[in-house]
């Protein structure tokens, strides 16, 4: 409700002109609107809620998307569609497969058109929508730089990822949605003044994982030129997720207990949206899973991806995929968003591992950290009793020497947050960058976003040092996770320029400040008030997790068994 109200408030800061804007596309005529942002005077032409696929209703539920047919009447594209079905919005709909376009009012001086940035939202594959990332932000922060902004919806939760673990229901409908959106977008974007040969896809969190997947899919060859992944990699334990089978079986058993396999899926097609939502309410009431580095209930399933990537093998896909420039990054302490109780973040996004309340933060000591590590990483079901103890001790020892020892008061909470951030975000991203470089991808770049807005830091906890997950998106949008952007200071604006310029240099093909990643080294730009160029990101930490996986036969950052 708060987020919807916020979007309404954002619209109050616009003056819509009396003249609408018509565009003829290969599918038919679209009517959008000219908007002027009263606070800044920036203007744009926006086209909202354009369908890119048939509504996935009835027999099309849980199936790959069907291409949209041309329309005979003028299509009204004046407002966002509802987001895709989710437990975490007052209003959502299965009829949600839409695309939104915001373009500069003045045509590009380049006859080929403007470069395009197409955004894929995050939300743990379970929540989120394109309207939450309102064009209000890009009108000020992207379009003035001569770039068109595009966003899409894709199916979430069981609607997007339901899988029985069989060929009859392999899952990954959300990825197929994204693929269909890219196909549609490629065909129409020149009608809106965009250059179809200069499309960059970018996404954050689950959107970053999605972008990572899309770079590996042969079907995307020619659909985009470049990619940017923000805090999300397909190589992460939560980026290729067999746990979705367990989540799917719960829904199927709850609503269709008398059926199995295909019959169960067909039965679920007859249930209402509310029935499916209610089945999730008590079993999976949070966006982020707890007590497990695999932080999502739904998402891309590697075992069901044989039609998407060669042999359903990520390593093979990296070698065989179309080799395109890829900018890969993360925030300096991603897990800070989820793990510290604060009024910004709703209960549905709380940490997967409970920690003391802020008043008890100083009690978070080595004993507490060791207990968490043993509970989460020292699983006897994977390692056996003896090795479970050994791997737990190795993790505690490493983070004591390399993190906790660097802080006088909050060392162990920093170690806890760094450990989780390393596993879920940093190590997978660095591996992806290095693997791609080794496979001949010549323009792979890395960044770390280290700036923390002081007001946000104050609310989260000023004693904890690092940039939290998702808050880098304020550089592009006016709200994040339903939170309005704090009034930017001169320092905030300087950081924004540093970060946006990095993206624009990459998108437009300008010279990059940093060298590309190689097989053995990951140079990166540290984005802050003053950017820094550093030679290699955390090689010691990557080596630690590599060695740990080989020693104990299981790799936590990827969730893979090591033979």
pLDDT at 7 over 60: no
Confidence label for 2 from pLDDT (cuts 50, 70 and 90): very low
Alpha carbon separation from 419 to 39, 332, 377, 404, 548 (Å, rounded): 42, 12, 11, 11, 14
2-324 and 331-561 share one CATH topology?
Answer: yes
Q: Is the pLDDT of residue 352 over 90?
A: no
Do 98 and 78 touch, CB atoms closer than 8 A?
Answer: no
Strands 14-25 and 28-37: antiparallel
Q: Residue 312: what pLDDT? A: 85
Structure tokens given for 510: 């300008």
The residue whose two tokens read 């660097």 is 406
Mean pLDDT of 439-462: 89
Residue 259 has pLDDT above 70, yes or no: yes
CATH number at 331-561? 3.40.50.1820
Q: What is the DSSP string of 355-413?
A: ---GGGGGG--HHHHHHHHHHHT--HHHHHHHHHHHHHHHHHHHHHHHTGGG-SSSHHH
In this predicted structure, what is the pLDDT of residue 429?
A: 98
Question: 62-66, 257-261, 479-483: which has the highest mean pLDDT?
Answer: 62-66
pLDDT tens by residue, 115-156 = 999 999 999 999 999 999 999 999 999 999 999 999 999 999
Q: What is the pLDDT of residue 347?
A: 58
**Integer angstrom CA distances of residue 542 from 186, 378, 427:** 37, 19, 6
- pLDDT digit string (tens) for 170-197? 999 999 999 999 999 999 999 999 999 9
468 vs 461, more confident: 468
Residue 8: per-residue pLDDT: 45
Higher-scoring residue by pLDDT: 195, 412: 195
Q: Which residue has the higher pLDDT, 202 or 3?
A: 202
- pLDDT tier at 293, thresholds 50, 70, 90: confident
pLDDT of residue 4: 45
pLDDT at 353 over 60: no
Coil/strand/helix, residue 196? strand
According to the model, what pLDDT value does residue 1 have?
41
- Which helix (H) or strand (E) covers residue 191, if one does? none
pLDDT tens digits, residue range 498-530? 999 999 999 999 999 999 999 999 999 999 999
Which of 133, 48, 131, 137 is CA-nearest to residue 90?
A: 131
Please name which of 97, 134, 107, 274 lies closest in space to residue 190, comparing C-alpha atoms. Answer: 107
Kindly indicate the confidence band of residue 290, based on its pLDDT and cuts at 50, 70 and 90.
low
Superfamily of domain 2-324: Alpha/Beta hydrolase fold, catalytic domain (3.40.50.1820)
pLDDT at residue 19, rounded to an integer: 81
Q: Is the pLDDT of residue 12 over 70?
A: no
Q: What is the pLDDT of residues 29-53, one digit of tens each?
A: 999 999 998 888 899 999 999 999 9
Q: pLDDT at residue 460 above 60? A: yes
Per-domain boundaries in the chain? 2-324, 331-561
pLDDT band (50, 70, 90) for residue 3: very low
Q: Bridge-partner residues for 93, per DSSP?
A: 84
Task: Please state, in angstroms and rounded to a whole number, the distance separating the CA atoms of residues 368 and 116.
Answer: 48
pLDDT at 286 over 80: no
Residue 2, φ and ψ in degrees, nearest 5: -60, -40
């Amino acid at each position: 409700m708060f987020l919807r109200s916020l979007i309404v408030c954002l619209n109050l800061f616009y003056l819509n002109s009396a003249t609408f804007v018509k565009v003829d596309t290969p599918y038919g005529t679209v009517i959008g609107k000219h908007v002027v942002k009263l606070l800044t005077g920036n203007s744009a032409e926006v086209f909202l809620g354009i369908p890119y696929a048939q509504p996935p209703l009835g027999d099309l539920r849980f199936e790959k998307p069907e291409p949209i047919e041309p329309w005979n009447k003028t299509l009204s594209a004046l407002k966002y569609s509802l987001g895709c079905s989710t437990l975490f919005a007052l209003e959502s709909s299965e009829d949600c497969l839409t695309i939104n376009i915001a373009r500069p009012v003045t045509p590009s001086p380049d006859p080929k058109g403007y470069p395009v940035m197409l955004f894929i939202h995050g939300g743990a594959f379970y929540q989120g929508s394109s309207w939450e990332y309102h064009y209000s932000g890009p009108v000020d922060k992207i379009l003035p730089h001569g770039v068109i902004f595009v966003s899409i919806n894709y199916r979430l939760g069981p609607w997007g990822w339901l899988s029985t673990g069989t060929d009859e229901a392999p899952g990954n409908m959300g990825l197929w949605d994204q693929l269909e959106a890219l196909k549609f977008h490629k065909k129409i974007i020149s009608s809106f003044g965009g250059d179809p040969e200069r499309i960059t896809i970018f996404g954050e969190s689950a959107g970053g994982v999605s972008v990572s997947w899309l770079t590996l899919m042969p079907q995307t060859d020619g659909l985009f030129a470049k990619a940017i992944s923000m805090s999300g990699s397909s190589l992460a334990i939560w980026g290729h997720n067999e746990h979705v089978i367990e989540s799917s079986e719960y829904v199927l058993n709850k609503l269709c207990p008398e059926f199995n396999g295909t019959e169960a899926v067909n039965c679920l097609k007859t249930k209402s949206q509310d029935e499916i939502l209610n089945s999730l309410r008590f079993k999976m009431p949070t966006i982020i899973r707890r007590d497990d580095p695999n932080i999502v209930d739904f998402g891309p399933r590697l075992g069901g991806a044989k039609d998407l990537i060669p042999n359903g093998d990520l390593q093979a896909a990296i070698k065989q995929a179309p080799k395109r420039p890829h900018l890969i990054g993360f925030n300096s302490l991603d897990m800070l968003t989820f793990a510290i109780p604060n009024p910004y973040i709703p209960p549905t996004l709380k940490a997967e591992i409970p920690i003391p309340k802020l008043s008890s933060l100083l009690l978070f000591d080595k004993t507490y950290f060791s207990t968490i590590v043993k509970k989460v990483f020292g699983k006897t079901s994977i390692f056996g009793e003896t090795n479970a103890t050994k791997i737990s001790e190795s993790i505690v020892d490493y983070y004591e020497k390399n993190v906790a020892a660097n802080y006088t008061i909050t060392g162990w909470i920093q170690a806890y947050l760094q450990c989780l951030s390393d596993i879920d975000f940093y190590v997978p991203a660095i591996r992806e960058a290095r693997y791609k470089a080794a496979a001949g991808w010549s323009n792979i770049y890395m960044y770390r976003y280290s700036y923390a807005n002081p007001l946000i830091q104050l609310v989260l906890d000023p004693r904890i040092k690092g940039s939290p997950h998702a808050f880098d998106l304020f550089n592009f949008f006016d709200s994040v996770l339903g939170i309005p952007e704090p009034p930017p200071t001169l320092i905030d604006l300087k950081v924004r320029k540093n970060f946006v310029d990095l993206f624009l240099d990459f998108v437009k093909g300008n010279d990059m400040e940093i060298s590309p990643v190689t097989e053995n080294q990951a140079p990166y730009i540290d984005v802050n008030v003053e950017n820094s160029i550093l030679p290699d990101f955390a090689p010691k930490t990557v080596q630690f997790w590599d060695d740990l996986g080989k020693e104990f036969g299981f790799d936590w950052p990827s969730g893979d068994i090591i033979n």
